[in-house]
Amino acid sequence: MKILVSAYACEPGCGSEEGVGWNMALSLAKYHEIWVLTRTIFRAPIEAELATHPIPNLHFIYFDPFNWTEDWRGRQGAVQLHYYLWQIQAYLVARPLHHQIGFDIVHHVTYVKFWSPSFLALLPVPFIWGPVGGGEHAPKSFWHDFSWWGKVYETLRDLAQRLGEQDPFTRMTAQRSVLAKATTEETAKRLLKLGATNVQVFSETGLSKPELARLEQCPIPDNSPVRFISMGRLLHWKGYHLAVRAFAKANLLAAEYWLLGDGPERERLQAMAEELGVPAQVKFWGKLPREQLMDKLAKCHVLVHPSLHDSGGWTCLEGMAAGRPVICLDLGGPATQVTTETGIKVPALNPNQAVQDLAEAMTRLANDPELRVHLGQAGQKRVKEIYDWEVKGEIWAQIYGSCKL
């Protein structure tokens, strides 16, 4: 089949949105002839990778609206405007391309956001949307712990999503999709409200064979001291303030909690650890290169990911693939990845309850090495069976067969 993929973000060797775009294209090309629409800034890394590992049936078309080729990532207002304009141009580029090639299916892959349209849905071809996410919210009871800027961020995020849902082109995208994949149940409900008729929950996250092999090489350390680890940007909605409070509350004198990453919450978290009397046990390592991050993970026993509104949750997959049990909140993407067989999901009713339950989960895993091994092994098995990009490619190949007119 001839498939047109829309991947605004697409870069080899990356995680997050860029990794989704690249790995989807790579896995789909094992079964079909793939054309990928993406941004000009990704041309150099993509062509360098294909020069080393050519894939004859994988083609890329690069463009930017008004030749705005600047890397807008990290500048929210600019990137959202650029993304919207890029979607319009994608249709203008794809329309003559479709007349020339005759696509069987059009598939929007990145960005993984439900509240902005894909004008490719206007093509006279079966249109697949997603997986898309972003319908998750930090429960209001948790906003009290946010900084002033954190509360402003959440308010603006909610407003942007609601405005996006009112965009008639977003509704058109939902209504014209033959299949809309949602990363979480929260997003699935919002897609149904937009008018999508065939909605299924399906995570956008995955790991490649080399990534799985590397993570499997992380040996389980001995039992002393038991170390908990969190990996990610130190942002208010990542919930690390809950984990620091929980670690202090658990009062595990022989344990440590390592935070890998940097961000605006770092000073606040360090002050919190000092105030709670655990500054020597809570260690901040900052942002580390990939290999150093893997070395730190290999020295830890349990991954903690208390995010309040992640659509994906790549960190959880990495922890599971490394054989580490995961403690997370029962919210968003992590809640779909982690099961009772692979970790502990904590309800998120209010901050005090969440902290108490996180502390109990930490205590339980710190004191039960056999449980840690059991959960870790189950996590590795689950990742291989569901989140391997090759497995996901097989699933999409089957989906395409059922969606073709």
Domains of the chain: 2-206+388-403 (3.40.50.2000), 209-386 (3.40.50.2000)
389-403 vs 16-28: helix crossing angle, rounded to 10: 60
pLDDT band at 248 (very low <50, low <70, confident <90, very high): very high
Question: What's the rounded mean pLDDT across residues 189-214?
Answer: 91
351-366 vs 369-382: helix crossing angle, rounded to 10: 110
Buried b (16+ CB within 10 A) or exposed e, 164-190: bbeeebbbbbbebbbbbbbbbebbbeb
Statement: residue 86 has pLDDT above 80: yes
Question: What's the rounded mean pLDDT across residues 278-303?
Answer: 91
pLDDT band at 404 (very low <50, low <70, confident <90, very high): low
Residue 264, preceding peptide bond in cis (omega within 30° of 0): no
Query: Would you say 176 and 120 are in contact if contact means Cβ atoms under 8 Å apart?
Result: no
Mean pLDDT for all residues in the chain: 91
Separation of CA 108 from chain center: 16
Task: Tell me what pLDDT residue 72 has.
Answer: 65
Task: Tell me what pLDDT residue 402 has.
Answer: 82
Statement: residue 137 has pLDDT above 80: yes
- The alpha-carbon radius of gyration of the chain (Å, integer) is 21
Reported as a single tens digit per residue, the pLDDT across 28-57 is 999 999 999 999 999 999 999 999 999 999
Question: Coil, strand or helix: which one is 308?
Answer: coil
Q: How far apart are CA 42 and CA 275, in angstroms?
A: 45
Q: How far apart are CA 171 and CA 378, in angstroms?
A: 40
Reported as a single tens digit per residue, the pLDDT across 144-153 is 999 889 899 8
Question: What's the rounded mean pLDDT across residues 83-109?
Answer: 95
Assessment of whether the complete model's pTM goes beyond 0.75: yes
Of the candidates 86, 88, 81, 97, the residue with the CA atom closest to the CA atom of residue 122? 88
